[in-house]
Amino acid sequence: MRPIIPCHSAVQNPAAKYVSKILKPIIKSAPTIIHGTKDLAIKLSKLKLIPNRKFYIVTGDVVAFYPSIPIQKCIDIVADLYAQFYFNDEIPQTESKLREAEIFIKCLKLGNQELILQYDDKMYLQKRGLAMGVTDSPDLANLYGWWFERDIVILEGELQKQFHTL
């Protein structure tokens, strides 16, 4: 258990907001990331399950996931997903694309590391996990989980095809 430090008013939030905006297309491309309860209900209603076969539905609360995410590893993973998505996992070839990637990485680090909160007269530093209230925290948590999820077989056969087209 750890105290929850709300960083919704952190000075670094504009950087995190930029990161969140850039990550939205990556999140939309991840078929197993659910975008809320309504999205889950819609996707489940469209599934055609095979009779006499067992299926398990596993979901998680992304906010409850925040404290257990190692921030540096998460930043590395998200930076890698960014490079894969926007640059096909290659070094950008033009100066403008190189600068764009550099700005993204700097904002990713700035918006999520060394977050400080003042409560009364005391200052607190977010040391572990993702911070509550930072604009890109849900995006980072979802992508961190998806990084590991995509390498294991979660859906297979016909069910996989259905889920990817929902």
Per-10-residue mean pLDDT, the chain, length 166: 62 91 96 85 84 79 84 96 91 89 96 83 83 90 91 59 52
String of DSSP letters for the chain: -----B-TT-TTHHHHHHHHHHHHHHHHH-TT---SHHHHHHHHHH--PPTT---------HHHHGGGS-HHHHHHHHHHHHHHHHHTTS---SHHHHHHHHHHHHHHHHTTSS-EEEETTEEEE--SSPPBT-TTHHHHHHHHHHHHHTTS-SS-HHHHHHHHH-
Q: What is the pLDDT of residue 13?
A: 86
pLDDT given for residue 81 in this prediction: 96
pLDDT, residue 163, reads 53
Q: How high is the pLDDT of residue 12?
A: 83
Record the pTM.
0.80
Question: What is the predicted pLDDT for the residue at 101?
Answer: 94
- pLDDT for the residue 90: 83
pLDDT at position 44 is: 84
